[in-house]
Amino acid sequence: MEGCVIEEEQRRSWVSILTDIIDEGPHMVLRLPKIRQAILSHPDPLLWFCKKRLELELLCLKLMVRIEQCKDENGSINWSDTVLQATAKRRAEILREVHQRMCSDGSRVYDMDEIDTSMLM
């Protein structure tokens, strides 16, 4: 805005609007009519993804806690722990389910780490 020649009143208006958008966070996306309409018209994929993301977040937290519990005095992790293995297995299953759904919807994302990172952002 520094390089633009605009009146002070218009600059303050823009700053106010941008501040409101930033403060609103992710909900700001709902202001966009096409995105709002897509969400309202097809809520099932969004709900499915939200459930998978929530489960993945909870599993990641559980994994972090369990890894700390499975460390010995030297800091080595006991990877043979059944709870640790089951949690990691379920996490991998969720990522595979999301990957399969993405592929069936036409996505060309094949890297599971990329899917994992994107879901947890």
* CA atoms of 119 and 53, how far apart (whole Å): 6
Angle at the Cα of 86 (from 103 to 79), degrees rounded to 5?
115
Q: In the structure, what pLDDT confidence band is assigned to residue 50 with cuts at 50, 70 and 90?
A: confident
Q: Is the pTM of this model over 0.85?
A: no
How does pLDDT run across 1-31, given as a tens digit for each residue?
Answer: 566 677 788 888 888 888 887 887 777 777 7
State the average pLDDT for the chain. 86
Q: Over range 88-116, report the average pLDDT.
A: 89
Q: What average pLDDT does the segment 48-64 reach? A: 93
What pLDDT sits at residue 1?
A: 54
| Contact yes or no for 102/115 (Cβ under 8 A) | yes
Query: Residues near 30 by Cβ (< 8 Å), separated by ≥ 6?
Result: 36, 39
Is residue 102 classed exposed, middle or buried when 0-12, 13-18 and 19+ CB atoms within 10 A define those classes? middle
Using a pLDDT cut of 90, give the percent of the chain over it. Answer: 41
